[in-house]
Amino acid sequence: MANEMSTVERQVPRTTDSSEPTRARPVFVPRTDIYETRDAIVLLVEMPGVAPDAVDITLEKRVLTIHGHSVDPEHGAYRQIHAEYGAGDYERIFTLSEDIDRERIEAAQQAGVLRLVLPKAEPVKARKIQVRPA
Amino acid sequence: MQPFEFGRFGFDPFLEMRRLQSEMNRLFSGVGTAGVQQFPPINLWLGENSVVVTAALPGVSPDTVDLTVHENTLTLQGRREPKAEDADATWHRRERSYGSFSRTVQLPIHADPDQVQARFINGVLEIELKRPEADRPKKIRISAA
């Protein structure tokens, strides 16, 4: 029962578009769960240490960018003696395949997890074309 | 933590080196296990008479986490439940893990179980453990003969 869960931390590959962030700070790819229901796509993005007001979400055309900015914790006179996770920012970009109703997107960040609900746009009504006999 | 700040001279040339060193230590600490860490990942900070344990627990409700302190060990136990809201949901990606976790950490000092403070901020659990009064180092004065 112990340690059923494990974590792997991954860093953003810097070679995707040959650009670099200006700040020399690690950027992590947050672990994400994505599921689809009948009328929405729901994303659960794991960003520990990120406050709700430090999350930036942009949707441009079909490209969804999630950025979480974390603040280095103050430890005063404390000295770090063991480290398994690092402080840094989080960034992840998704390409959406379905049309999203931009007006009704909901986002909530709680306990380091961002929940993003992307409602699907009303499907265009299928038109039936009747063929008349000539 | 002091080394992450700009020093008296405006810029600390060793900051980047120290960061690189700690990053290297972190990367190679998990070589034997192919980079897979135990859950939750923890950081340890040592103060004069106390130790701070921080654990990244995103999405875990703080009241489901049990903390046990015994001499110089701290045990974290809890459970992360998936939000089963949609039975007919189709999964696109499942990268987060769910289930029970239990982790025991060996502390560099003995901790007083009555002086433990725990806070949960933005998915990070911070536990401060104090050294018991009797265990603290004492200064001994040498009296002149």
Predicted confidence at residue A5, as pLDDT, reads 44
Residues in chain B closer than 8 A to A95 (CB atoms): none
pLDDT average, residue stretch A53-60: 91
> Is B97 touching A (CB cutoff 8 A)?
yes
Residue of chain B whose Cα is closest to the Cα of A85: B41
Residue A23 confidence (pLDDT) above 70: yes
The least confident of A84-93, B15-24, B32-41, B93-102 is: B32-41
Q: State the Cα torsion A11-A17-A23-A24 to the nearest 10°.
A: 50
Residues in chain A closer than 8 A to B48 (CB atoms): 77
d(CA B38, CA A33): 20
| CA A89 to chain centroid | 12
Each residue's pLDDT tens digit, B96-135: 888 899 999 999 888 888 889 999 999 999 999 998 888 7
Residue of chain B whose Cα is closest to the Cα of A38: B89
Predicted confidence at residue A115, as pLDDT, reads 93
Residue A66 confidence (pLDDT) above 90: yes
Nearest-neighbour CA in chain B from A128: distance (Å): 29
> Is A72 touching B (CB cutoff 8 A)?
yes
Residues in chain A closer than 8 A to B95 (CB atoms): 31-33
Closest by Cα among A108, A53, A46 to B93: A46
Phi-psi domain of A39 (left: phi exceeds 0; alpha: psi -120 through 50; beta: other): alpha
CB pairs under 8 A between A and B: 170
Residues in chain A closer than 8 A to B54 (CB atoms): 73
Residue of chain A whose Cα is closest to the Cα of B21: A83
Residue of chain A whose Cα is closest to the Cα of B77: A2
Interchain pair B101, A5: CB under 8 A = yes
ipTM value greater than 0.85? no
Interchain pair A6, B39: CB under 8 A = yes
Count of CB atoms situated within 10 Å of the CB of A65: 13
Whether the predicted model's global pTM rises above the 0.95 cut: no
> Is A10 touching B (CB cutoff 8 A)?
no
Residue A29 confidence (pLDDT) above 70: yes
